[in-house]
Amino acid sequence: MEESGLAAEITELFEGIGLKPPAEQEGTLIAVSPIDGSKLASFRRATPAMADEAIKRAQTAFLEWRETPAPRRGELIRQYGDLVRDNKEPLSRILSIDCGKSLAEARGEIQEVIDICEYAVGLSRQLFGLQIACERPGHRMAEAWHPVGVFAQISAFNFPAAVWSWGTMVALVCGNAAIWKPSEKAPLTALACGGLLDQVINRFEDAPANLSQVMLGDGAIGRVLADDRRIAVISATGSTTMGRDVAGRVAARLGRSILELGGNNAAIVTPNADMDLAIEGCVFGAAGTAGQRCTTMRRLIVHEDIHDEFLDRMRQGYGQLRVGSPLDESAHVGPLIDQAAFEGMQAALDAAREQGGQIWGGERVLEDAFPGAFYARPAIAAMPGQTPIVLTETFAPILYVMKYRDLEEAIALNNAAPQGLSSSIFSTDMRETELFLSHAGSDCGIANVNIGTSGAEIGGAFGGEKDTGGGRASGSDTWKNYMRRSTNTINYSSQLNLAQGLKFGASAA
Ligand code: UN1
């Protein structure tokens, strides 16, 4: 495999942020840039024995870290957030080269890491329990939240930094030790973000060594983590197939998992929509990040009266999109992650054609400039209805467009997908928008009005239902997923009163 200038740039970027460049090892795990298909570095894969050692080290770190008061734990994360802020530009470039995301979106992702650090710092003073009304006199009942143990994060290539930070920053503030298994398709972002975290941990007085560890490997090492009883909580983001495997393994040992898996997200556009805004929201939602967000808009359900005009305007919008290197700031759409992603996209477009769809775009471009990479024009597929391919998540920029007649029908189409991550409605009619948000509306974990399906802020709970896995990885009260709850009943009277008015033995006499 060829090397290009990108490997040299990675070396410079790592050195620039004070980290050892990813060494050229003997290993079989090869980091490839989706920008041009060139080799960036190679690594040895973690073995099960290495995972065992890492878990042991993490357990030792956990026992020490849980003794550090939570606000002090927050101070570590504050320092890390500052370091990420200072290094936002080089980290964004590393991320862009690593996973092919446009530089603008890579900056957005690193900003998401900074935001989650701030959020976690705030949380570090708010890990509070409840005081609960007690039925017995002279008793007090309360609940407390305690660190839970070793936390493991399995992250996907498409958000190689933000998704890790959602879990890990919160888990650390909650008093846990953390292990990260990043996607083998984007390992360099993990080495950079994890390396900077190590810098902070190493100079922080109250933080034990090995509080955070990165393990490079493929699904095999993910399965080792999923099977291991010493991993108290495991969070996994990726495909539904991967999530089912992790869920089964963790359930078999009665462990705790937080799953954020696939999405087949739809937007409904009603005749009451602000059309300009809807076009803008749908073009970004469907074509942004080259269709490789779990929140990417994949289905568009448009009222029959405006369908043809809306489709025309979407096609015009797509016509303005520039596909190009993610490092070229004038490009909107970068490459697909690899050849398999491109082939998956082509297979889905073939199926859509067979199922009566009319397709625009989808072809490979820039093959001469980047023969080893896979750039494709985002595709729009006008479909005769919600055919099987429309209900299949393809991790590529394909937007299936369908008609509806009444809003109940549109909501039923929205909810017919096996996944339930994100959804949105474009309408200025509050009867329509409130119905969509109600119990009888969208069944997704995220339901938006007049914005697209992607681009959630970190403060809200993030995740979804059904095949999306049911987990909530970030925001709101999800910190509780990273702690264990202890219910405490304290008797400060001199009587032994049993609950439910029970009388027992001598006390009954
Ligand atoms: C993902 O694609 O796995 O809501 C996460 C969004 C981003 C996160 C996406 N904040 O689009």
For residue range 93-131, what is the model confidence (pLDDT) as tens digits? 999 999 999 999 999 999 999 999 999 999 999 999 999
Question: How many Cα atoms sit within 13 Å of 382 on the Cβ side?
Answer: 13
Q: What is residue 2's predicted lDDT score, i.e. its pLDDT?
A: 61
Which DSSP string corresponds to 28-85? Answer: SEEEE-TTT--EEEEEPPPPHHHHHHHHHHHHHHHHHHTTS-HHHHHHHHHHHHHHHH
Confidence class for position 139, pLDDT limits 50, 70, 90: very high
Closest residue by Cα to residue 409 from 427, 432, 426: 432
Q: What is the mean pLDDT of residues 165-169?
A: 98
Task: Write down the CATH number for the domain with range 5-261+469-486.
Answer: 3.40.605.10
Q: Where are the alpha helices (DSSP H) in 382-482?
A: 407-415, 430-437
Closest residue by Cα to residue 212 from 88, 110, 73, 111: 73
CB neighbour list of residue 275: distance below 8 Å, 6 or more residues apart: 306, 310, 313
Q: What are phi and psi of 235, to 5 degrees?
A: -115, 130
| Model pLDDT for residues 465-486, shown as the tens digit of each residue | 999 999 999 899 999 999 999 9
Round to whole Å and give the CA distance between 22 and 186: 13
CB atoms within 10 A of CB 137: 10
| Residue 106 and residue 92 in contact, taking contact as beta carbons nearer than 8 Å | yes
Q: What is residue 152's predicted lDDT score, i.e. its pLDDT?
A: 98
Is 465 one of the catalytic residues?
no
For residue 162, the ligand 1 atom closest to its alpha carbon is: 8
CB atoms within 10 A of CB 37: 18
Residue 286 has pLDDT above 70, yes or no: yes
Q: What is residue 358's predicted lDDT score, i.e. its pLDDT?
A: 98
Question: How many Cα atoms sit within 13 Å of 218 on the Cβ side?
Answer: 8
| Bridge pairing between strands 398-404 and 379-382 | parallel
| Residue 424 and residue 270 in contact, taking contact as beta carbons nearer than 8 Å | no
Q: Is 158 in the pocket of ligand 1 (CB under 6 A)?
A: yes
Tell me 321's DSSP state: P
Question: How many Cα atoms sit within 13 Å of 403 on the Cβ side?
Answer: 10
Round to whole Å and give the CA distance between 195 and 183: 16
% of the chain exceeding 90 in pLDDT? 96
Q: Per the residue annotation, which of 260, 282, 393, 444 is the catalytic one?
A: 260
Residue 507 has pLDDT above 90, yes or no: no
Residue 221 has pLDDT above 80, yes or no: yes
Q: Is 474 in the pocket of ligand 1 (CB under 6 A)?
A: no
3-state secondary structure 168-201: HHHHHHCCCEEEEECCCCCHHHHHHHHHHHHHHH
Residue 3 has pLDDT above 70, yes or no: no
% of the chain exceeding 70 in pLDDT? 98
Round to whole Å and give the CA distance between 403 and 113: 38
Q: Does domain 265-449 have CATH number 3.30.70.20?
A: no
Q: Is 163 in the pocket of ligand 1 (CB under 6 A)?
A: yes
Q: What is the mean pLDDT of residues 156-175?
A: 98
| Residue 290 and residue 66 in contact, taking contact as beta carbons nearer than 8 Å | no
Q: What is residue 85's predicted lDDT score, i.e. its pLDDT?
A: 98
Residue 509 has pLDDT above 90, yes or no: no
Q: Is 454 in the pocket of ligand 1 (CB under 6 A)?
A: yes
Q: What is the mean pLDDT of residues 220-235?
A: 97
How far does the centroid of ligand 1 lie from the alpha carbon of residue 179, in Å?
A: 21
Q: What is residue 95's predicted lDDT score, i.e. its pLDDT?
A: 98
Mean residue pLDDT across the chain? 97
Q: What is residue 28's predicted lDDT score, i.e. its pLDDT?
A: 87
Q: What is the mean pLDDT of residues 240-254?
A: 97
Mutational test site, ligand 1, from 159, 239, 289, 458, max ligand atoms within 8 Å of CB? 159
Residue 449 has pLDDT above 90, yes or no: yes
Q: What is residue 25's predicted lDDT score, i.e. its pLDDT?
A: 74
Q: What is the mean pLDDT of residues 209-214?
A: 98
| Residue 435 and residue 423 in contact, taking contact as beta carbons nearer than 8 Å | no
Q: What is residue 230's predicted lDDT score, i.e. its pLDDT?
A: 98
Nearest 5°: the CA angle 447, 114, 189 is 95
Round to whole Å and give the CA distance between 410 and 259: 27
Evaluate whether 5-261+469-486 and 265-449 have a shared fold: no
Domain ranges of the chain: 5-261+469-486, 265-449
Beta sheet of 139-147, edge-to-edge order: 131-132, 139-147, 483-491
| Model pLDDT for residues 322-364, shown as the tens digit of each residue | 999 999 999 999 999 999 999 999 999 999 999 999 999 999 9
Mutational test site, ligand 1, from 260, 294, 422, 423, max ligand atoms within 8 Å of CB? 294
Q: What is residue 4's predicted lDDT score, i.e. its pLDDT?
A: 77
Q: Is 295 in the pocket of ligand 1 (CB under 6 A)?
A: yes
Is 260 one of the catalytic residues?
yes
Tell me 310's DSSP state: H
